[in-house]
Structure 1
Amino acid sequence: MTLENQQFIKSAEAAALEVLLHNSKGPFLDLPRTAGWGYPEPYTRDLLISVLGIAVTNNAELLQSVRHVLLMLAKNQSKRGHIPSLVHDKEDRGASDTTPLFLIAVGIFRKVAKEPHFLENSIKKALLWMEYQSPSDHYMVSQLPTSDWRDEQWVLGHGLFVNTLVHTYLKLFGNTESAEKLRQEMERPTFTSNRISNQSQEGLTIDHQPYYALWSYKVYSSERFDLLGNSIAILSGIASPSRAKAIIDWVETSCSSMRKTKELSIGLSPNFFPFIYPGDSDWFPRYTDFNQPGNYHNGGIWPFISGFYIAALVASKNYGLAEKKLLTLTKLIKAGRNKELEFGFNEWYKAQDGKPMGQDWQTWSASNYLYAARCVAEKRTPFFDSIRK
């Protein structure tokens, strides 16, 4: 990487830290806000995902804000162990990813703060809650549609993203036996309605593709590609090194083809593709307003997910491509809806033209940029390296 590009990335890292410090206290009980001006609320999943980037900064003020978030979530945890969707509102419930993200965030915070028993009782309750999320009483957990970070898109039954989170926290807390059994269940093939299988439970692998299915449940599944779930599958060691390489090769080849068809304009992957179009079997009328092809959950480019993908490239020792993607991401996050910002760190960008479409100074956009930059600089993936081993 040239000295000029190194300096460019350093300036973006400094800007990302400024975003996180700016957002570290909001109008709700001094909890962090989710974006600099929009989203003043403390959304649980956003703030918990942001713990990764904050942890590698070792910034005392930001770590104190993480402690405040985790303590408030523990206070508002349900009696059965579920974590709310808004940090300050114990009645805002129903998310499938907040509880596993809480477990991951506490696991990481314990390591950074050197407090191995931090929130022990809340962790026990959360682990028990997650045990009851498996309808088959095995290891893969299930969810209702729009209950994970895709609040405008259907993921039904055994969702890839949530199960990669479960695998991650199991490894973080040393439950390697359960983590391995979960991985084995995920490695089973999905069922199809026109194929009879002798296996007892469906999995998340697809016979004719290297990547994992977006979701599966009994004879139904989605073979559309989930960048976030597959990236964490690589990071956490669910995917073998050979499968990880095959997934990455497939992503890069597919995105090259999408650029030729003008579905994609820049060198970063959409969060989800092939896009869902009107008339497709998985198109819902509400998508007309919220999820047009190449937009939002239906193929928008999300910097926080690009950060996970860059980390996955580092985990696969694909350092050159990781460096290239980090530079492309740095150029993208300069763009904001507010033209006066040096770095926009927008929430998401339209795939077809790269325009910023969400809120500027999004907390997890800034945080995961810092995490990705650290991974590239040090050729390692903090907190995930030990999980893969």
Structure 2
Amino acid sequence: MDTSSWLTINAARDAALKVLLHNVNGPFHGLPRTAGWGYPEPYTRDLLISFFGIGVSGNDILINSIRKVLETLAKNQTPHGHIPSLVHDKQDLGASDSTPLFLLVAGMYRQLTGEHTFLEEAVNNSLQWMEYQSPSDRYLVAQQPTSDWRDEQWVLGYGLFVNTLVYSYLRMLGRHERADKVKQAMGRFTITGGVQHRHVHEGLVVKHKPYYAMWSYKVLSSERFDLLGNSLAILSGLAAPTRAAEMIAWVEEECAALQKSGDLAVSLPPNFFPYTKPGDNDWHERYTFFNLPGEYHNGGIWPFICGFYVAALVAAKKYRLAEEKLLELTRVITITNSGTVDYGFNEWLKAQDGAAKGQEWQTWSAAMYLYAVKCVEERRTPFFEEMRARLPVA
């Protein structure tokens, strides 16, 4: 990448740090805000995901803020080990991704600081809680619709995103035997024949496609593409290098087709595609108001997820493509919906026209930009290199 591009990226990196430092002390017990002006609440999943970027920032103020988040979550953990959806509110429960994110980030924090027994009791309690989330009492965990980060989208049963988190935290915490079992279970095909035979268990592999299904449960599944879950599958090593390369080629080809048809206005992949449209079997009436095609969870462009995609490209050694996508992400984070700031770091953008939507100065948008920059700059993926290196070559 040329010097001019790096000057642009470094200016955006400075802006991301400014956003995170602005958000570091919110109105709820001094915990970080989820966004600069809207979302003053400390949402668990947003703040834990922000550790990816904060952990590579070298900024002690930000790193200590996530330590406070983790310690507060441990105090507000239920007796069974479940982590609340709001850091400060032990009564706000029901999220399927808050506990696995807590376990993953606790492991990442241990790796960063060398405190190998940090929050040991809380971690063990959460590990036990997650084992009870398997309805088959095996290895894949299940969830209720709208219970992960997609509060306006149905993910039923064994969701890809949550199970990639499970796989990742097991590796991060050294629980390799169980991680191997999760990988094996995810590697089974989804059941498409309409009949589930006795002792035949569903998985998340899609026949004749290089990516993992968005979710699967018994004879039901969604084979639409989940960018976040599949990016994590590459980053964690769950997807073998050959599958990762095929998946990336497929994503780029599909996005080129979306651009040609006018369904995608930026050179970054939507969080979810093909978009769900009225009349589709998985269309819900509520989507008319909150989740139209190309918007929000139904194909919106989410900068924080694009940060994960850039990291996945680096993990797959697609360095030139990672640079191209980082430059496009750098352009996208300057777009604002208020026009009052130089960098929007918005929550999401509409796929068809690239218009900024949702809240500006979103904590996880700024943080995942920092992580994407670090990955491209060093051609490595902090926290995940060792995880992939210990896996056998396919």
TM-score of the superposition, structure 2-length normalised? 0.97
Equivalence for 2:131: 131
The alpha carbon displacement at 1:113 in A equals: 2.1
Q: Give the secondary-structure state (helix, strand or coil) at the position aligned to 1:56.
A: coil
For 1:188 and 1:64, locate their aligned partners in 2 and report how far apart those are by CA, in whole Å. 41
For 1:275 and 1:293, locate their aligned partners in 2 and report how far apart those are by CA, in whole Å. 5
| Segment drifting more, 337-346 vs 327-336 | 337-346
For 1:133 and 1:287, locate their aligned partners in 2 and report how far apart those are by CA, in whole Å. 28
Note the 1:155-304 alignment, pairs <5 A. 155-194=155-194, 200-304=200-304
For 2:204 and 2:368, locate their aligned partners in 1 and report how far apart those are by CA, in whole Å. 26
User: Is the contact between residue 193 and residue 220 of structure 1 (CA under 8 Å) also seen in structure 2?
Assistant: no
Runs (4+) of structure 1 moved beyond 6 Å? none
User: Is the contact between residue 52 and residue 367 of structure 2 (CA under 8 Å) also seen in structure 1?
Assistant: yes
- Structure 2 CA distance for partners of 1:30 and 1:381, relative to 1, 3 Å: same
The alignment covers a number of residue pairs equal to 389
Q: Root-mean-square deviation (CA), in Å?
A: 0.9
Equivalence for 1:11: 11
Structure 1 gap ranges (5+): none
Equivalence for 2:392: none
Equivalence for 1:47: 47
For 2:196 and 2:119, locate their aligned partners in 1 and report how far apart those are by CA, in whole Å. 46
Note the 1:315-334 alignment, pairs <5 A. 315-334=315-334
Equivalence for 1:29: 29
The alpha carbon displacement at 1:324 in A equals: 0.2
Equivalence for 1:76: 76
The one-letter code matched in structure 2 to 1:139 is: Y
Q: Give the secondary-structure state (helix, strand or coil) at the position aligned to 2:386.
A: helix
User: Is the contact between residue 34 and residue 42 of structure 1 (CA under 8 Å) also seen in structure 2?
Assistant: yes
For 2:118 and 2:58, locate their aligned partners in 1 and report how far apart those are by CA, in whole Å. 18
User: Is the contact between residue 13 and residue 370 of structure 1 (CA under 8 Å) also seen in structure 2?
Assistant: yes
Q: Give the secondary-structure state (helix, strand or coil) at the position aligned to 1:86.
A: coil
Equivalence for 1:121: 121
The one-letter code matched in structure 2 to 1:128 is: Q
User: Is the contact between residue 83 and residue 93 of structure 1 (CA under 8 Å) also seen in structure 2?
Assistant: yes
The alpha carbon displacement at 1:195 in A equals: 5.4
Deviation string, structure 1 residues 335-384 (Cα, Å, up to 9, x no partner): 11121211110000000000001100000000000000000000000001
User: Is the contact between residue 196 and residue 219 of structure 2 (CA under 8 Å) also seen in structure 1?
Assistant: no
User: Is the contact between residue 206 and residue 212 of structure 2 (CA under 8 Å) also seen in structure 1?
Assistant: yes
User: Is the contact between residue 265 and residue 354 of structure 2 (CA under 8 Å) also seen in structure 1?
Assistant: yes
For 1:12 and 1:198, locate their aligned partners in 2 and report how far apart those are by CA, in whole Å. 54
TM-score of the superposition, structure 1-length normalised? 0.99
The alpha carbon displacement at 1:200 in A equals: 2.1
User: Is the contact between residue 191 and residue 197 of structure 1 (CA under 8 Å) also seen in structure 2?
Assistant: no
User: Is the contact between residue 152 and residue 297 of structure 1 (CA under 8 Å) also seen in structure 2?
Assistant: yes
Note the 1:355-374 alignment, pairs <5 A. 355-374=355-374
The one-letter code matched in structure 1 to 2:386 is: S
The alpha carbon displacement at 1:123 in A equals: 0.3
Deviation string, structure 1 residues 93-136 (Cα, Å, up to 9, x no partner): 00000000000111111122221111010000000000101111
Equivalence for 2:388: 388
The alpha carbon displacement at 1:181 in A equals: 1.1
Deviation string, structure 1 residues 303-362 (Cα, Å, up to 9, x no partner): 000000000000000000000000000000001112121111000000000000110000
The one-letter code matched in structure 1 to 2:143 is: Q
Q: Give the secondary-structure state (helix, strand or coil) at the position aligned to 2:257.
A: helix
User: Is the contact between residue 143 and residue 158 of structure 2 (CA under 8 Å) also seen in structure 1?
Assistant: yes
Identical aligned residues as a percent: 61
Equivalence for 1:312: 312
For 2:340 and 2:16, locate their aligned partners in 1 and report how far apart those are by CA, in whole Å. 16
For 1:114 and 1:124, locate their aligned partners in 2 and report how far apart those are by CA, in whole Å. 18
The one-letter code matched in structure 2 to 1:304 is: F
The one-letter code matched in structure 2 to 1:350 is: K
